Structure 1
């Protein structure tokens, strides 16, 4: 399969043209807004915290990659969409385990590697039920697991992580509903996945930054 092969994965897309998914494309601006808001918070609170800045940049790259996918809609654009998301998940998980749960770096790295290896397997198990959205189930579970342990150390931030998990659950629901509602809603519901995910990413960054700021 060639990298330039066109894909038609979402309800809104009606053809191979660049603007065949206008709403899905434009709503990626939400990721840029989330990145900018996180950057402003980072600059005020922890301007010397490089990991938080790197994660903020990755959020902006998520928006750019997703925009490319919902405009060009090719296999190479799909890679540009998926890679920043996976990088964010792995990097954020590492710093969440280290900073929030205060695990040793050796344990942290082992868990992240285990997550990277096992996550695709879990996604495949649930794919018959959740479809392609099953790929995000490991990340959702990680949010709830980290939040459940973190709430015992810091109730406010731990609860914030858990609420973020609830928002992410709703977001996945909208992603799953895109095809089923397509016959009655021409634009689909994938655009809500973008908007809610931008909220999810900002909330995760906010906890990381504020926790670091003490």
Structure 2
């Protein structure tokens, strides 16, 4: 597949003109708004601010894909999402579980075979196959919650529930075309922006409150 080959992946798109997905394109502003809000809330926390930068890039990348709809734009869409997942996991391992950096790095890279495994397991399962890769994230949040404990663990579980709802909305897009031609992908943008902003805040609150708890 060439870098400039065009992709028709969502219900709203009816041709390959730039503004054929206006709602999907515009709702990427939710990521940008979430990133700006969390940037302001994360003063003094390098990890949280790094996450907000990646969150902003997610909005830009997704906006490119829902306007240009090409292979290179799809890469710009997916790459920041993967970076966000890996960076968040690394910060969890270092700051929440308190592993040394080398162990945190190895554990973070372990997400790759885990995600591949979940994708393979779900690829032939009706409905779940549509967003098979993304299901690895809420599953991982639920798995990690008991190891984190406290209010942060509850935040992980809430985040997992929000993301499961978001992925469900994403997966319904093409299936509902006959009754809802607009599609549901815009809901994935909005819910995902809320979820990612919320997860940054979960990390931020843990970092702010942890010293007081330990003291």
Please give the TM-score of this superposition, normalised by the length of structure 2: 0.92
- Verify: 1:183 aligned to 2:181, yes or no: no
Structure 1 stretches of 4+ with a deviation exceeding 6 A read none
Distance 2:166 2:85 in 1: 16
Aligned to 1:210: 205
Superposed CA offset, 1:162-210 (max 9, x none): 1111010000100111111111001111111000100111111101112
User: Are 1:156 and 2:151 counterparts?
Assistant: yes
Residue 99 (structure 1) shift? 1.6
Q: How many angstroms apart in 2 are the aligned matches of 1:121 and 1:15?
A: 35
- 1:146 aligned to which of 136, 144, 147: 144
SS at match of 1:136: coil
- What displacement does 1:131 show? 2.4
2:110 is aligned to 114
Match of 1:89 among 71, 82, 85: 85
Structure 1: 5+ residue stretches without partners: none
2:98 corresponding residue in structure 1: 102
- If the length of structure 1 is used for normalisation, what is the TM-score? 0.92
**Structure 2: 5+ residue runs without aligned partners?**
210-215
Q: Tell whether 2:29 aligns with 1:34.
A: no
- State the match for 1:137 in structure 2: 135
Is the CA contact 2:138–2:159 (under 8 Å) kept in the aligned structure 1? no
1:166 aligns with 2:164: no
CA-based RMSD = 1.2
